[in-house]
Amino acid sequence: MPLRVSGDEKMHDIGDRCQRFSEGKRAALPLVCESSHFILSSGTARATRAVVESRAMNVAQLRQEYMRSGLSEQDAGADPLRLFSAWLEDAVRAGLPLPNAMTLATVTPEGAPDARIVLLKGLEHGGFAFYTNYSSRKARQLAARPAACLVFQWSELERQVRIEGGVEKVSAADSDAYFSSRPLGARLSAWASEQSATVASRQVLESAMQEARKRHGDSPPRPAHWGGYRVLAHRMEFWQGRADRLHDRLLYTRADAGWKIERLAP
């Protein structure tokens, strides 16, 4: 039987982290990373007692030096949407997982921040489009206060982009076009899932999915409660990691006829 070690321990040399003291018993216990606690078993009738010592990971010591690139005003150019498109293409070419994943931050009716990861599905009309259920928690927040902040992070490229702006719904035609491009299962689940609502069990969702499949077959139409939003940027900040924590930060702010660009201290 294995000695199981928390997933956090993978961050370190297990040989330096764990020490087994047996009482003269011979037992080969392989290490398996699993949950947040230690489980020890000898696999014999007479269990071998063991003591496993673990030091908590010191997150303050997790550091990385940024050396890949720099970002000058001249190279960045006057149009932040063009620069964003180039950075997104770099992330795609680099083979990064989910290069279009972004943090979407909204505000609750009480004024508290709220955030989740969504996927960018369009860069058009000067805005960043994503799709969701119009009855979801984030949609209710956007209805009350149509403003949001987006954050993209491409750690392997040592880059981050932060976007602030107002939010509007995309047209029904745009929502229809995107919905029809989704896999069948995703289209059916838009009918089956009342997003953000409490459900009694997984079986409730499975049953709703079966009902949607029976009802709509292979051609489910877009539900009226499902569609897209577009974040219309008025501030865009580009962050490029640099050595000695002297990072490059360029802030674009909407001006009358274009964008004003400023450099921020890291």
Task: Output the six-digit token pair for 38.
Answer: 């230690």
* Region of residue 77 (left: phi > 0; alpha: psi -120 to 50; beta: else): left
CB-based contact 141:109 (threshold 8 Å):
yes
Judge whether 132 and 138 are in contact, CB under 8 Å. yes
How many CA within 13 A on the CB side of residue 112? 2
Asked if residues 223 and 190 have their Cβ atoms less than 8 Å apart, the reply is yes
Cβ(239)–Cβ(66) below 8 Å:
no
Question: Which residues are paired to 105 by β-bridges?
Answer: 115, 149
Residues with catalytic roles: 245
CA–CA distance, 167 with 155 (Å, rounded to integer): 27
- Per-residue tokens: 67: 């050396």
